[in-house]
Chain A
């Protein structure tokens, strides 16, 4: 590997695997994945239900231990980091999940939910907590004063997902993992959240891993697309190439099954 490759990649996995169960019940959810995320790019990890894409996301987040393989973040081996080292890792890698409602304190104000992120920050910067919350909310297009005082049920779905993005942004992560983060949103709102992710990439140079079952969203947002099937990455490349000239049979069948808006005559 050349020096240039090292400089441009933020995260790399080598032969990453996760096996659940054993014997005849064994499920190889993630089966030898080599994935590279380039700095400042959005990569979409596309797969159907059961493809292993969410398990891969959880491995990268250090929410579970892999069965085999390595995860390198910025050149460091983070495969088995725990304790304080894992908390340090979480300052650099943050996530937003599918159901923003599940991630809130149901009865507490937005401020309480956002404050949990402060616990991951170095003590010296916690003082500025409220200011950080305000900045993060402004960055996602919400009014800080108004939003901090609200309870989750007073927010729309799009607003809730923006608050979750703001929570992730407070730590100024270098990598954001969005796991089906826009799946539950209405189409017209979804576009605005995807635009926000694109802006974070373009203006802050944030690296984004966008995990989705929806090739349409992947194609809109991502620079690169990796297609996952039965625990393996069957094909990856620039978004235009994956959609325009898919090489793998599975990618072709997936594209053929996606409803298109403009029927070719």
Chain B
């Protein structure tokens, strides 16, 4: 069952005379009980998408089109006032940087009460603390954390506190924007286990996890969407995407991943030559064409359609050809 469906999302940042086209007709679905991973490199639009999807767009972002269907309602993303009631309760954001997300001068319990009071103005302090303590316990944090200030907690504990606060109002969809990027691998592992548990315990119904780390997603996500230059270029079940990426950018990205798997040393990887396109200039064709070894003439000036095959899709003019070659070979 589809929990949330994002369609036709286009948005740009207006800076002086320039328009920076951060998102260009993006669509993704999040299934109930699943984690959708969104992966891409700097400037691909993944954090902008997280801000729109979590109903927290920045003040300089102009959403020109897009709808989010969630919980039986269609939200018009171009009208920020209309989606205010859903923020925090239906959709919540788990932000990047656990320390910066907490108020250094307030105790955890006080911050939790503020959050709960947004949804229920008459909630008592005692009730807030009771519910928060229960959530902290689910994340293996002792009740004393309620009285602690952020600086009194370790990095891993802060990350769990931020997670507890973000999910306090039992949002149906949690949007996690690079929550693990500043953590070391051991804390990262804990966070990944925690997010999986939030879904399996039904505390949240679905998660969109945004990251630059595709190896992490291969362990965390049910499905993976690959973004490049403001577009989703491929989306597939995680294991299929990792085993056999189709879009040339997805292939190049996967081929650049360095993991310590014994016996793989000594091969030389090539990376991706060139740089991502300038998003101030509208791109009529495929944004990856200038760096793509498979590009043909029409890639430069005609937008490749989204080709759906089974439970995966990608947007490449040559994907049918690649698919055929793969089946023959």
User: Using a CB–CB distance below 8 Å, which chain A residues touch chain B?
Assistant: 48-49, 156-158, 186-192, 194-195, 198, 213-220, 239-240, 243-244, 253-255, 257-263
Known: A191-B258, A240-B265; 17 extra A-B contacts, CB below 8 A, are A48-B185, A158-B275, A187-B258, A188-B272, A191-B256, A192-B271, A194-B258, A195-B269, A213-B184, A216-B260, A219-B264, A243-B265, A254-B185, A257-B188, A260-B219, A261-B257, A262-B242
B269 is contacted by which of A191, A213, A218 (Cβ under 8 Å)?
A191
Is the pair A259, B259 in contact by a Cβ cutoff of 8 Å? Answer: yes
Interface majority SS on A: helix, strand, loop or mixed?
helix
Is the pair A187, B219 in contact by a Cβ cutoff of 8 Å? Answer: no
Q: How far is the CA of A195 from the CA of B271 in the complex (A)?
A: 9
Q: Does B327 contact A (CB under 8 A)?
A: no
B126: chain A residues within 8 A (beta carbon):
none
Q: How far is the CA of A263 from the CA of B185 in the complex (A)?
A: 17
B271 is contacted by which of A156, A191, A215, A243 (Cβ under 8 Å)?
A191
Q: Residue among B42, B259, B270 with the most chain A CB within 10 A? A: B259
Q: How far is the CA of A46 from the CA of B213 in the complex (A)?
A: 19
B213 is contacted by which of A157, A254, A259 (Cβ under 8 Å)?
A259
Is the pair B186, A219 in contact by a Cβ cutoff of 8 Å? Answer: no
Q: From residue A181, how far is it (CB to closest CB) to chain B in Å?
A: 14
A48 and B260 in contact, given A187-B41, A219-B265, A259-B218 (Cβ under 8 angstroms): no
Q: Does B252 contact A (CB under 8 A)?
A: yes
B186 is contacted by which of A188, A253, A260 (Cβ under 8 Å)?
A253
Cβ-closest 5 pairs across A and B? A191-B271, A244-B262, A216-B258, A188-B272, A186-B41
Interface residues on chain B, number (Cβ under 8 Å): 37
Interface majority SS on B: helix, strand, loop or mixed?
loop
Q: Does B189 contact A (CB under 8 A)?
A: yes
Some 26 contacts from A to B, beta carbons below 8 A apart, are: A48-B185, A187-B41, A188-B256, A191-B270, A192-B271, A192-B273, A195-B268, A195-B271, A214-B258, A216-B257, A216-B258, A216-B259, A218-B260, A219-B260, A220-B258, A240-B265, A243-B265, A244-B262, A257-B189, A258-B259, A260-B215, A261-B218, A261-B242, A261-B254, A261-B257, A263-B239
B265 is contacted by which of A186, A191, A220, A261 (Cβ under 8 Å)?
A220
Q: How far is the CA of A67 from the CA of B266 in the complex (A)?
A: 39
Q: How far is the CA of A48 from the CA of B256 in the complex (A)?
A: 22
> Among residues 12 to 60 in chain B, which have CB atoms less than 8 Å away from a CB atom of chain A?
41-42
Is the pair A190, B185 in contact by a Cβ cutoff of 8 Å? Answer: no
Q: Residue among A192, A220, A263 with the most chain B CB within 10 A? A: A220
Chain B residue with minimal CB distance to A240?
B265
A260 and B185 in contact, given A188-B41, A220-B265 (Cβ under 8 angstroms): no
B188: chain A residues within 8 A (beta carbon):
257, 259
B262 is contacted by which of A218, A243, A254, A257 (Cβ under 8 Å)?
A243
B259: chain A residues within 8 A (beta carbon):
216, 219, 258-261
Is the pair B253, A188 in contact by a Cβ cutoff of 8 Å? Answer: yes
